[in-house]
Amino acid sequence: MNSVSPSAVQYVGGVMQDELVESRRQQPLERQGSFGLRPPHTPEHGREATGEPDELDKLKAKLMSAWNNVKYGWTVKSKTSFNKISPVTVMGHSYLLNSEDEVERFRLAFVSRIWLTYRREFPQLDGSTWTTDCGWGCMLRSGQMLLAQGLLVHLMPRDWAWPDAQQLTEVDFEVFRPRSPARAGGVPIPSFGSPRGSNTPEKSLASDHAPKCSQKKRPESVRDRQAEPVHRKLVSWFGDQPPAPFGLHQLVEIGKSSGKKAGDWYGPSIVAHILRKAVAKTSVLHNLAVYVAQDCTVYKEDVVNLCDLSLSQSPPDPSSQAWKSVIIFVPVRLGGEALNPSYIECVKNILKLDCCIGIIGGKPKHSLYFVGFQDEQLLYLDPHYSQPVVDFSQVNFSLESFHCSSPKKMPFTRMDPSCTIGFYAKNKKDFESLCSAVSVALSSSQEKYPIFTFVEGQGQDYGLEGHSSNNSGPAAHILPPGKLGRSNNRRNSDEFVFL
């Protein structure tokens, strides 16, 4: 994994470029992935048939785990700068950081997101020797965060915020010209680690004496506190224990049907389908469905068939209004080897929507979960930080390691073109509004062809063997009838269509 630039680094999550090149020289190409390097593996037909690793494999896995636990266990103390002139967008909401009230709202919005990172010392993954996902599970962790955001919107009160959200750390609020590299004239505004409305001297945001919460309570704090049991249960669903419905053990097990195993690279498209299967498999959610778009197209009737419960009734009940909430994942590729700059404005407009639950992708060789932006930089949560496994059998297990207090940014231009965009609709009316709002955002692209499209009908109406929610494999790009094809000889890469 590549190292992060000084302006965007949060954790020591990667190796230097020359180290990466050297390590690639020492491995066959098939062991390398778009978002990380696969651990050493010595395939022998005997062991593959039994699925049992030999002693050499076990030793290699232990050494790799030990090295990754050290490498990803160090944090880098570098500040992220935010200006007071341009708004910061987080999950469809904008914050102009020119007052303490606005910074407080931004703090709660960011820290309340579920943060899922590498973990170590969890129960051994079935059929392997892995007890950590350090070095290979970053895309699975990013996918978990995307699903967790969808579940937060689905289960928690509207605009819920974690009452115990930590104070922001390693941030710098400045006045400087947006998009300007010059920072010499930056003027910091008062620290928001101190109580709002107080006249106390400025304190460091990372100060141990900073209060957990502002003294001025939000009107929704009582409601948010009442929702804490649901918050705690939701987090436990992502625990690193075999029974957890969306934990790493379950996701790796589901991934086996797609030819993936522990230690392999998982792309954003494969992860979308793994998450779909995990939601369909679990019994903890009865009124939520996941739809994965196929070939950069959302087929509306397929979504209706997935969500409209009256269609499954025999005979159909016209008066029935039962409708499952839906999370929509759209795997796309925003360019060839690098991000096409023409799509940046479109991605911004998508992140501004209330129905958007984020984007998983990252930068080359480094998976991230994007939750917003300011000016020409994306705001993200980084899974590349090794933490000890949490024991969820404890009644009052700590939630602190599942929430990040250090917002980080990176330029749009460094974004990997392969990504999956997430949306959520609570009911049929919300789905119709989603289709309309997202279509408007997609039309803002400077490119002739949109990132993806919504079309009437089902996938099978356009020559597809089945709708996307039942098909986890790659598909050829088929334009709706009446649309002109761009090329019949399209190169396929990472299961995405080049735009």
User: Which residues are tagged catalytic?
Assistant: 138, 382, 384
Q: Phi first, then psi: give them for residue 148, nearest 5 degrees.
A: -60, -40
**What token pair was written down for 475?**
């598909």
For the beta carbon of residue 122, count every other beta carbon within 10 angstroms.
20
Q: State the first-to-last Cα distance of the chain, in angstroms, to the nearest integer.
A: 25
What does the alpha-carbon distance between residue 247 and residue 122 come to, in Å, rounded to a whole number?
11
What does the alpha-carbon distance between residue 362 and residue 140 come to, in Å, rounded to a whole number?
12
Closest CA to 252 of 235, 264, 239: 264
Closest CA to 369 of 419, 425, 296, 294: 419
**H or E segment to which residue 2 belongs:** none
What does the alpha-carbon distance between residue 377 and residue 9 come to, in Å, rounded to a whole number?
13
What does the alpha-carbon distance between residue 164 and residue 217 come to, in Å, rounded to a whole number?
11
What does the alpha-carbon distance between residue 290 and residue 329 come to, in Å, rounded to a whole number?
8
Give yes or no for a contact between 13 and 117, defined as CB atoms under 8 angstroms apart.
Answer: no
What does the alpha-carbon distance between residue 35 and residue 380 come to, in Å, rounded to a whole number?
16
Closest CA to 210 of 116, 114, 81, 111: 111
Name residue 221's beta-bridge partners. none
**H or E segment to which residue 33 belongs:** strand 32-33
